[in-house]
Structure 1
Amino acid sequence: MTTITKEESIILDGISKFILEKGIFSEFDCPIEGVNLRKVSDYSFYLQIISNENFFSKSVISHNGFEVRPIESKLKEFLENGGFSKMYVEQARIKRRNEQREDLSLRLTKFKIWTFWPLFVIAIFGGIYSGIDFFNKKSEHKSEEQYLERIKQVESELTTLRTLISSQNNQSLLQNSTGKENLYRDSVGKITHTERK
């Protein structure tokens, strides 16, 4: 679809009505009433626009010109529905909508630009803070493991001490209860019997 101006839409409607009445139009026809076409190139321009539409058929003439024949039912319906003037209004509406869309897109882009850097700085700060927190928790976890291992070591030492104290108590009790036998523990913890001499 060719983009047209308001003035061109009026001229194209006039030419279309003339073509519908006469049944044919070429660049050699006389000017249409109310339409100022001074050069043959003006005719060619408008005929080219008209021939690009679906309701006209274009046939070439031998003297570097051409003529346009209408497909009457389509052309009549097109003119009844507003013709090229309606096409101009529709194009203007679409153009206005596209301009509004571009304006909205421009505003959105500006908003994105203005909000990007503050959000980026906040994100960097959050990332750094998360990294520091992660490493701190990891070191806390290591110190907690060391603490638990130290507790286990102390408990095992306490168990060993309790065992030694208990065995010493048992040995002293046994020594007091029997006069002939001397029970004692060797370094491995075995109880051996020896007789007193």
Structure 2
Amino acid sequence: MNKALTEKESKVADLFLEDLLTHEKTHAFKSVVNHFFEKDKISKERALFICEYLERKSLVTLILDSNFTLRNIKFDKSKIQEFLKNDGINKRWMVDSKLKYDLKFSKFKVKTFGFLFVISIFGGVYGFYDFIERVGIIKHFQSEQKKELEESKLHNSFLIQKDIDSLNTTKKSKKNE
């Protein structure tokens, strides 16, 4: 059996407390309690669990018979009114539910943070290394281009001089002939 109230049961518990406020007396018999929970399709076990929950909150007092089955419920209307005015069970259930999900999510974040941090550090180091390597390659490429440019200038100047000399020799040779 589930040890916690469900959302539906928390709403029914609030409605049950509101229903108790409509009674003229400060107690309700078993038949009234059973009728209320049966119309909301709550089993007798869960109805008793809800009543025990309300007793732990000091909103009602359960009177059980020798078989530990519900006989009567005593309640204090002022306590119930104050409780419903402040929050009510459904509001508290929502807060508790949110806290449970926040706790699970926080545990998940703690478990995954280290792994993702290591991956991000690895990615950052790899990116920095790749950047430095590319800068080195670019500098090397630029120096290679400068060398090739100087070599081509020297080669071109050598060819130009050779052409000039070869032209001169051909002109001289033509004049001599």
TM-score by length of structure 1 reads 0.47
Equivalent position to 2:78, from 73, 79, 89: 73
Taking structure 1 as reference, are residues 112 and 43 closer, same or farther at Cα in structure 2, changes over 3 Å only? same
Deviations 1:36-59 (A, max 9, x none): 236433432222222221222233
Say yes or no: does 1:58 pair with 2:59. no
Contact between 1:3 and 1:91, CA under 8 Å: does it hold in 2? no
Taking structure 1 as reference, are residues 11 and 28 closer, same or farther at Cα in structure 2, changes over 3 Å only? same
Deviations 1:148-195 (A, max 9, x none): xxxxxxxxxxxxxxxxxxxxxxxxxxxxxxxxxxxxxxxxxxxxxxxx
Query: How far is 1:75 from its partner?
Result: 1.3
Moved over 4 A (4+): 111-115
Query: How far is 1:20 from its partner?
Result: 2.5
Taking structure 1 as reference, are residues 13 and 46 closer, same or farther at Cα in structure 2, changes over 3 Å only? same
Secondary structure in 2 matching 1:4: coil
Say yes or no: does 1:93 pair with 2:98. yes
- Equivalenced residue count is 116
Equivalent position to 2:52, from 40, 48, 54: 48
| Structure-1 residue corresponding to 2:167 | none
2:82 alignment partner AA:
E
| Structure-2 residue corresponding to 1:141 | none
Q: Select the structure that is richer in strand.
A: 1
Contact between 1:55 and 1:71, CA under 8 Å: does it hold in 2? yes
Contact between 2:5 and 2:50, CA under 8 Å: does it hold in 1? no
| 1:1-197 pair list within 5 angstroms | 3-22=4-23, 23-29=26-32, 30-32=34-36, 35-37=39-41, 39-62=43-66, 64-66=68-70, 67-111=72-116
Partners of 2:68 and 2:41 in 1: how far apart?
19
- Extract unaligned runs of 5+ from structure 2: 121-177
Contact between 1:57 and 1:71, CA under 8 Å: does it hold in 2? no
Secondary structure in 1 matching 2:74: strand
Taking structure 1 as reference, are residues 38 and 55 closer, same or farther at Cα in structure 2, changes over 3 Å only? closer
Contact between 2:51 and 2:62, CA under 8 Å: does it hold in 1? no
1:86 alignment partner AA:
K
| Structure-2 residue corresponding to 1:135 | none
TM-score by length of structure 2 reads 0.52
Report which stretch shifted further, 12-21 or 60-69.
60-69
Partners of 2:98 and 2:43 in 1: how far apart?
31
